[in-house]
Amino acid sequence: MRPMNAVFALLFLFVLPGFAVAQDEQQLRYSVLFEDQQGVTHFRDEYLVWQKAPGNAGGLLTPYLNAEKIGFLRLPQGLSADWHPAPRKQFIMVLSGVAQIEAGDGERRTFAPGSVLLVTDTQGPGHRTIVVGEQDVFVGWGTIP
């Protein structure tokens, strides 16, 4: 299987079923963590349009996004990582556990199983990551150009 196909197969199998998508919802919301011109990080929401899956599968899918590699990361329970930039531009897909990310502007968001985050803050002080709850956080991540 080609690497990009593997990324999207994993998204379809593990992440997307975690979303409770009503029939009338037309978009998949995901968070983006980015830095402004002063190097301060912020969150914004972006969306992918749901489309009917081909054939009689009865599912929904989004358009493909370009990806380069996929990997997995386990963050231990109790982890509190101080300010750090993302190592590269990448999608993070939470498979289990709960993490809280704090942007440089002070906004905090909680990411639970089924959450999708695009991190693009590769310069400057970056963000903080805290594992909350009573289990490790297990994520899949896919680098993007």
pLDDT tens sequence across 96-113: 999 999 999 999 999 999
> pLDDT tens digit string along 14-61?
444 444 443 347 899 999 999 999 999 999 999 999 998 888 777 899
pTM for the full predicted model = 0.80
8 A C-beta contact, residue 21 and residue 60: yes
Instruction: Taking the CA atoms of 109, 115, 119 and 125 in sequence, report the sign of the dihedral they define.
Output: positive
Mean pLDDT of 120-145: 96
The candidate with the shortest Cα–Cα distance to 60, out of 32, 28, 92, 30, is: 28
Quote the CA–CA distance of 107 and 98 in Å, as a whole number: 17
**Which of 82 and 11 is assigned the larger pLDDT?**
82
Instruction: Spell out the domain ranges in the chain.
Output: 3-143
8 A C-beta contact, residue 127 and residue 104: yes
CATH number at 3-143:
2.60.120.10
Distance of CA 65 to the CA centre of its chain: 13
Residue 7 pLDDT level (bands cut at 50, 70, 90) = very low
- The overall average pLDDT reported for the chain is 87
Question: What DSSP letter does each residue of 3-38 carry, written as one string?
Answer: HHHHHHHHIIIIIGGGS---TT--EEEEEEEEE-TT
